[in-house]
């Protein structure tokens, strides 16, 4: 039994290491403008660990860059479904919703992002979220 637990633990660690490697590789593709390769790499990461929010988020960022708003929205939905405290995913999802004309839900997401960034002590991203909120509704307070 102990051997089985040890083997399962090693497989889980190897899977996490591969996930991190795929995410790094996808980020490099993205930074180099190789968007199709980035999407393929993040999709591999999702297949390796479908419960991780991170590869959904990064694939969503690529789709956002490619102006595939519906694909990006789907990925950001998946990211926040897997990690309800993923502030940056709320920020991007809010931005996508606003670009699709869904101001109500877009602003809800941006306020959620601002609150999470504040709780996490990330003042820079908090201010970014507040600026976006005010850009779309100057009279609205966070």
> Which CATH number goes with the domain that contains 67?
1.25.40.10
Q: How far out from the chain centre does Cα 134 lie?
A: 22
Number of domain units in the chain: 2
Secondary-structure percent of the chain, ordered helix, strand, coil, rounded to 5: 80, 0, 20
**What residue numbers bound the domain in which 94 lies?**
85-142
User: What span, in angstroms and rounded, lies between the C-alpha atoms of 67 and 2?
Assistant: 50
User: What span, in angstroms and rounded, lies between the C-alpha atoms of 94 and 106?
Assistant: 4
The predicted model scores a pTM of: 0.85
Give the model confidence (pLDDT) of 46-88 as tens digits: 999 999 999 999 999 999 999 999 999 999 999 999 999 999 9
Give the model confidence (pLDDT) of 96-136 as tens digits: 999 999 999 999 999 999 999 999 999 999 999 999 999 98
3-state secondary structure of 123: helix
């Amino acid at each position: 039994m102990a051997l089985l637990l040890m083997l399962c633990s090693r497989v889980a660690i190897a899977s996490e290491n591969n996930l991190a490697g795929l995410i790094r590789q996808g980020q490099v593709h993205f930074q180099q403008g190789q968007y199709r390769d980035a999407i393929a790499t993040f999709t591999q990461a999702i297949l390796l660990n479908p419960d991780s929010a991170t590869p959904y988020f990064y694939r969503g960022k690529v789709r956002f860059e490619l102006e595939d708003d519906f694909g990006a929205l789907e990925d950001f939905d998946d990211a926040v479904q897997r990690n309800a405290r993923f502030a940056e995913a709320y920020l991007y999802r809010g931005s996508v919703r606003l670009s699709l004309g869904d101001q109500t839900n877009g602003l809800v997401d941006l306020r959620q992002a601002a609150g999470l960034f504040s709780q996490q002590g990330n003042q820079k991203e908090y201010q970014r979220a507040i600026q976006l909120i005010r850009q779309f509704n100057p009279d609205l307070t966070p």
